[in-house]
Chain A
Amino acid sequence: MANIMVRKDAAGAYSFYLPKRDLEDAIVSMEFDTSEKWGGEIRLNNGGAYYIEPQALPARFPISLRARRLDAAE
């Protein structure tokens, strides 16, 4: 499990930040992105994948979350 931060930029796109490794990247896909269910498997631009426990859409961004690594890039 890793602590991550999800941001939303002005255009509404999500970005991913892993403080422990100082990794910043764009989120290219997110399994669930509705107001009731949000999260699931997320795919990063660098090819990595993480899993966020599906939850209600966070009220505000950025938000720090716990995520599980499914597939690391490199």
Chain B
Amino acid sequence: MSELTREETEALIQEVLEVYPEKARKDRAKHLAVNDQSIEQSKKCITSNRKSLPGVMTVRGCAYAGSKGVVWGPIKDMIHVSHGPIGCGQYSRAGRRNYYVGTTGVDTFGTMNFTSDFQEKDIVFGGDKKLAKLVAEIEQLFPLHKGISVQSECPIGLIGDDIEAVSKKAAKEMNKPIVPVRCEGFRGVSQSLGHHIANDSIRDWVLDKRDGQGFDATPYDVSIIGDYNIGGDAWASRILIEEMGLRVVSQWSGDGTLAEIEKTPKVKLNLLHCYRSMNYISRHMEEKYGIPWLEYNFFGPTKIAESLRAIAAHFDDSIKEGAERVIAKYQPMMDAVIARYKPRLQGKTVMLYVGGLRPRHVIGAYEDLGMQVIGTGYEFAHNDDYDRTIKEMGNATLLYDDATGFELEEFIKRMQPDLVGSGIKEKYVFQKMGIPLRQMHSWDYSGPYHGYDGFAIFARDMDMAISNPCWSKQTPPWKKRPEVPEASELKKVA
């Protein structure tokens, strides 16, 4: 579809808002905006990180999801207990596809679901005893685990269990860390607070455990923070950083271990991929240990090259040369990918609705393929995320914060993008409308999408989604104009 002008986009927003009752309309109006690159501050155009309106359909998660599902869950050699009723953990089990190496159930536990399976009596009489028993059982059944985190679900906060006391006592007995995390789902407005709570618990219970211990440092130690290794993302990023001559001491938290996290305060630079979920701990390390942090973007060759150079700027000439070497090495491969897919994708439009960093980070990758992002939005962003987005997005494009099911459907119906990037809840709605959708949370069971290797897969996947012949078959035969079947086809049927 051709681009909308600013006035048209504004009119579209007004039209969509019309169905709401007045109070809701006023509230939602603050969350929808037309991008204006001249604005320095997102606050002037969009409000974010507010409670979702009762009655609308939001796609947000809860604080527990932010802590267990995002930050803690991927730490592979710890056991993360979903403390409370069984559903919260079971329905989200292994859903994020955080890849890891190890033998599941022996020394790694990423895809398993551990829960205290609360019953009525635990709610009435409290679950502390059950937690103590469960911890002892874990120690017996899975002796190679390196520690436990207790991820509180809603009831824990409601009934006032003292998980801290149980954790402290059991940790002493078994001589391994047990981290109580107060990430009850009702806290905050979205999973974003869960990230924050999880970061704080890492700060308070894990990070300083090796302070004052020796460490064979090199001047090139870095850590990768906020990469959850979805479909192998962190691996595709790590090889580039290692190739340019740096040493990756730790990787958070995709394919990460407790020991790596404890060693992070020894590095020289923290490389932060998902700003939203891990900026808290990066700020803490900056203040306490004087480790600077740097946001980088490994989606698409343009942004990768930019990021590699920005990372190298923190180090000496050998690393700077290393970065150039890496960029030059992969350039021919990238040129080949672009030569193959750009002609097929040139000029196609995309609308995104995801969380974390992707609504802004993947824009560059689409642009590398000649595609254009005409609308983007976050589930749980804060103002600082939109500050960073405004510059990435074109003028007069659409921004939507915590979009409701209705708004998103209307926007997409009207703007008719060639591709939508969102999640599983949106996927079949839009595909039934005849618009291809790629899941941009789980990479639609593909990936990795980070790094140079990831870009080749990204390009292929986007092409596969858009160029799939099924989209031309959406109109059922009885609604089509009658056509005379070709003679050869008739013969086949007969």
Partner of B290, one of A24, A45, A46, A60: A60
Verify A22–B192 contact, CB threshold 8 A: yes
Given contacts A22-B196, A45-B41, A46-B41, contact A5 B383 (CB under 8 A): no
**Chain A residues with CB below 8 A from B280, complex form:** 19
**Chain A residues with CB below 8 A from B342, complex form:** none
Least Cβ distance of B319 to chain A in Å?
Answer: 18
Partner of B283, one of A5, A45, A60, A73: A5
Instruction: Answer whether residue B384 sits at the interface, using C-beta atoms and an 8 A cutoff.
Output: yes
**Chain A residues with CB below 8 A from B387, complex form:** 24
Verify B382–A46 contact, CB threshold 8 A: no
**Chain B residues with CB below 8 A from A62, complex form:** 283, 286-287
* Interface SS, B side: helix
Least Cβ distance of A5 to chain B in Å?
Answer: 6
Least Cβ distance of B405 to chain A in Å?
Answer: 26
- Chain B residue nearest to A20 (CB atoms) is B196
Least Cβ distance of B280 to chain A in Å?
Answer: 7
Instruction: Answer whether residue A64 sits at the interface, using C-beta atoms and an 8 A cutoff.
Output: yes
Instruction: Answer whether residue B43 sits at the interface, using C-beta atoms and an 8 A cutoff.
Output: yes
Instruction: Answer whether residue B49 sits at the interface, using C-beta atoms and an 8 A cutoff.
Output: yes
Number of interface residues of A (CB under 8 A): 15
Instruction: Answer whether residue A38 sits at the interface, using C-beta atoms and an 8 A cutoff.
Output: no
Q: Chain A 41-74, CB within 8 Å of chain B: the 1/0 string?
A: 0000110000000000000101110000000010
- Chain B residue nearest to A22 (CB atoms) is B382
Least Cβ distance of A57 to chain B in Å?
Answer: 16
Instruction: Answer whether residue A17 sits at the interface, using C-beta atoms and an 8 A cutoff.
Output: yes
- Chain A residue nearest to B43 (CB atoms) is A46
Given contacts A19-B280, A22-B196, A45-B41, contact A63 B383 (CB under 8 A): no
Verify B383–A23 contact, CB threshold 8 A: yes
Complex: how many Å from CA A60 to CA B287? Answer: 8
Number of A-B contacts (CB under 8 A): 29
**Chain A residues with CB below 8 A from B383, complex form:** 23-25
Verify B196–A64 contact, CB threshold 8 A: no
Verify A17–B382 contact, CB threshold 8 A: no
**Chain A residues with CB below 8 A from B287, complex form:** 5, 62-64
Complex: how many Å from CA A25 to CA B384? Answer: 8
- Chain B residue nearest to A19 (CB atoms) is B280
**Chain A residues with CB below 8 A from B283, complex form:** 5, 7, 17, 62
Complex: how many Å from CA A51 to CA B414? Answer: 48
Least Cβ distance of A9 to chain B in Å?
Answer: 10
Complex: how many Å from CA A62 to CA B40? Answer: 23
**Chain A residues with CB below 8 A from B192, complex form:** 22
Least Cβ distance of B310 to chain A in Å?
Answer: 11
Complex: how many Å from CA A60 to CA B383? Answer: 27
Verify B49–A7 contact, CB threshold 8 A: no
Verify A24–B384 contact, CB threshold 8 A: yes
- Chain A residue nearest to B195 (CB atoms) is A22
**Chain B residues with CB below 8 A from A19, complex form:** 196, 280
Q: Chain B 358-397, CB within 8 Å of chain A: the 1/0 string?
A: 0000000000000000000000001110010000000000
Verify A22–B49 contact, CB threshold 8 A: yes
**Chain B residues with CB below 8 A from A64, complex form:** 287
Contact residues of A between 1 and 41, Cβ < 8 Å to B: 5, 7, 17, 19, 22-25
Contact residues of B between 185 and 225, Cβ < 8 Å to A: 192, 196
Complex: how many Å from CA A72 to CA B280? Answer: 22
Complex: how many Å from CA A74 to CA B126? Answer: 41
**Chain B residues with CB below 8 A from A22, complex form:** 49, 192, 196, 382
Least Cβ distance of A65 to chain B in Å?
Answer: 11
Least Cβ distance of B298 to chain A in Å?
Answer: 22
Verify A7–B43 contact, CB threshold 8 A: no
Least Cβ distance of A40 to chain B in Å?
Answer: 21
**Chain A residues with CB below 8 A from B382, complex form:** 22-24
Complex: how many Å from CA A5 to CA B290? Answer: 14
**Chain B residues with CB below 8 A from A25, complex form:** 383
Contact residues of B between 281 and 302, Cβ < 8 Å to A: 283, 286-287, 290
- Chain A residue nearest to B287 (CB atoms) is A62
Complex: how many Å from CA A5 to CA B284? Answer: 10
**Chain B residues with CB below 8 A from A73, complex form:** 43
**Chain A residues with CB below 8 A from B196, complex form:** 19, 22
Complex: how many Å from CA A24 to CA B384? Answer: 6
Enumerate chain B interface residues (CB-CB to A < 8 A): 40-41, 43, 49, 192, 196, 280, 283, 286-287, 290, 382-384, 387
Enumerate chain A interface residues (CB-CB to B < 8 A): 5, 7, 17, 19, 22-25, 45-46, 60, 62-64, 73
Given contacts A5-B287, A24-B384, 15 further A-B contacts (CB under 8 A): A19-B196, A19-B280, A22-B49, A22-B192, A23-B382, A23-B383, A24-B383, A24-B387, A25-B383, A45-B41, A46-B41, A46-B43, A62-B286, A63-B287, A64-B287
18 A–B contacts from the bound complex (CB under 8 Å): A5-B287, A7-B283, A17-B283, A19-B196, A19-B280, A22-B49, A23-B383, A24-B383, A24-B384, A24-B387, A45-B40, A45-B41, A60-B290, A62-B283, A62-B286, A62-B287, A64-B287, A73-B43
Please list the 7 inter-chain residue pairs (A to B) with the smallest Cβ-Cβ separation, ordered nearest first: A24-B384, A62-B287, A22-B382, A46-B43, A62-B286, A45-B41, A64-B287
